[in-house]
Amino acid sequence: MFETKRHRMRRERYEAGFRPEWRDLLDAKLGHWNLLSVDEEERLEALALALIADKIWEAAHGFEITDEMMVIIAAQAALLILGLPDDSYRDVGSILVHPTTVVVTGPRSQGGGLVSDDPMAILGQASFQGPVVIVWDTALDEARHPGRGHNVVFHEFAHKLDMLDGTVDGTPPLADQAQFDRWVRVCTEVYERVVVGEGGHTLRSYAGVNPGEFFAVATEVFFDAPAALRGEHLELYDVLSDFYRQDPARRAEPLGR
């Protein structure tokens, strides 16, 4: 059987493994990298390599995909699933990278029952059976400067986790009924507070658009400003920690983050 170009590239990437120069990129440009244990670094490398090798990477507007783009985006996506099954991104077919902000049109919800069709600038997008769209300049900036509670890669790949059960409802596949019941109770309570403008400082108003956006925004803050989220919404932090099987606030403590 003849080997296609794509299969050859996949095989070559796996054979080469996670290259030392890629590790240097993470050390220089991924602020979360130095917070990880040796075991976590090794797992992140394996998960990131799988995303680089298995997914279709495409560039928009004549843009050219580089190793730096694939490594930085894949590593941030991999961070979310350090404690989850290896195939958690099985529904991600391709990753489309734009150089900078994208303007989209068409009707969309603005929360509170409002719908708008005005042009809107976006930094990323995820949809059923479609690519994950990522804006590169933002993804790189947020990789370099964590702690602000914003991360487009975390946000869009959280949507893909949410979609695993076939719906975008802010509830990814959970372990059992007890975890599901607690998730619904806690997330509903905090979501309703955000909707009426009482969500505090950590969860921006976009989290009140719908439950799916709530989960994606909460995931951003959980990984990017974990101590702040734990301090303001302890129960929400705990249910996210139970789902992701990670405790990023404790991980960041030695550096005072």
Residue 107 has pLDDT above 60, yes or no: no
Q: Which CATH number fits domain 11-255: 3.30.70.270, 3.40.390.10, 3.40.50.1400, 1.10.10.10?
A: 3.40.390.10
Res 111: pLDDT? 47
Residue type for 32, please?
Answer: H
pLDDT band at 1 (very low <50, low <70, confident <90, very high): low
Residues 222-244 have a mean pLDDT of 97
Residues 56-76 have a mean pLDDT of 94
Residue 136 has pLDDT above 70, yes or no: yes
Residues 216-234 have a mean pLDDT of 97
pTM: 0.91
Res 255: pLDDT? 47
In the chain, where the domains are located: 11-255
Res 130: pLDDT? 86
Residue 17 three-state SS: coil
Cβ neighbourhood burial of 201 (10 Å; 0-12, 13-18, 19+) = exposed
Yes or no: say if 156 and 124 are a contact pair by the CB < 8 Å rule: yes
DSSP 50-103: HHHHHSEEEESTT----HHHHHHHHHHHHHHTTTS-TTTTTT--EEEEESS-EE
Residue 135 three-state SS: strand
- Give the C-alpha distances (Å, rounded to integers) separating 7 from 2, 4, 18, 130: 10, 5, 18, 21
Closest Cα partner for 151 from 212, 208, 200, 79? 79
